[in-house]
Structure 1
Amino acid sequence: MPLKDRGKIKWQPAHFMPEHRAMLRKLETEQMAQDKPLIDEYELEDYENKIHYAMEYAFFLIVKVWREGLFHEYTGRENRLDGIGRNIYLELEDGFLEKVMFDEIASVEVKE
């Protein structure tokens, strides 16, 4: 009678505790996190000019956003600009609407 060996299954790590898996995910995101870039007044004014230019001529914007330690990049047309709440609403290429706050913006480029 041959011996039934489980092979790789026997030696794989057993992550059976949900707390352990959550801690591993949290550790990974903390290690991948980056510092928020410092943006001075001149860069902010340049970003605002690019945003107004893209809105006036209906060009696409490429906005790089810093959220929770990670950078995200969105490409789309500006749908609405909220000056009081300091938000930009981008209509992405796939049709979804993304709300971006001015404080989260890391860089802005106009795609003509």
Structure 2
Amino acid sequence: MAIRDRGMVKWQAAFQLPELAKTQKDFWLDTKRERKPIIDEHEAEEFDLRIIYAMEYNHSIKLMIWADGFTKEMTGRIQFVDPVTHELRIEVKDGEFERVAFDSVVGVKVVE
């Protein structure tokens, strides 16, 4: 006599509450969030000097950007620093630009 397994049918009852699955996913995402690092004046000035250096010598730059509890890396060339809107315009790929607010930058590294 062969064993008849119901396959995925036996697990369908567990997935009938999509709200529960979404709530659990959001909970685990919230546990991985971090507080925004505090940037003092010395670090901010160091970031500015690195950005100026990268712009002057046309080097790529690696930015650590904090957004909504998570940090991500962005690499590209700085095309423009807008003092009015407090944003950097970065060319990520040829012809593709992204804007980054000064306040969200938590790390700057020049890639030569």
Alpha-carbon distance in 1 for matches of 2:28, 2:94: 29
TM-score under structure 2 length normalisation? 0.86
Deviation at 1:50, TM superposition (A): 0.6
Alpha-carbon distance in 2 for matches of 1:33, 1:12: 31
Alpha-carbon distance in 2 for matches of 1:109, 1:31: 28
Residue 44 (str. 1) matches residue 75 (str. 2): no
After superposition, the Cα gap between the structure-2 partners of 1:28 and 1:40, relative to the gap in structure 1 and judged at 3 Å, is same
After superposition, the Cα gap between the structure-2 partners of 1:26 and 1:97, relative to the gap in structure 1 and judged at 3 Å, is same
| Contact 1:64 1:107 (8 Å CA) reproduced | yes
After superposition, the Cα gap between the structure-2 partners of 1:13 and 1:48, relative to the gap in structure 1 and judged at 3 Å, is farther
Deviation at 1:11, TM superposition (A): 4.2
Determine the structure 2 residue equivalent to 1:105: 105
Deviation at 1:99, TM superposition (A): 1.3
Identity value in percent: 36
Determine the structure 2 residue equivalent to 1:88: 88
Deviation at 1:79, TM superposition (A): 1.7
Count of residues in Structure 1 that have an aligned counterpart in Structure 2: 112
| CA deviation profile, 1:41-97 (whole Å, cap 9, x unmatched) | 010011011111111111000000110000100000012211111101111146532
Deviation at 1:25, TM superposition (A): 2.3
Alpha-carbon distance in 2 for matches of 1:18, 1:12: 11
Which residues of structure 1 form unaligned runs of 5+? none
After superposition, the Cα gap between the structure-2 partners of 1:20 and 1:62, relative to the gap in structure 1 and judged at 3 Å, is same
3-state SS of 2:14 partner: coil
* Root-mean-square deviation (Å): 2.2
TM-score under structure 1 length normalisation? 0.86
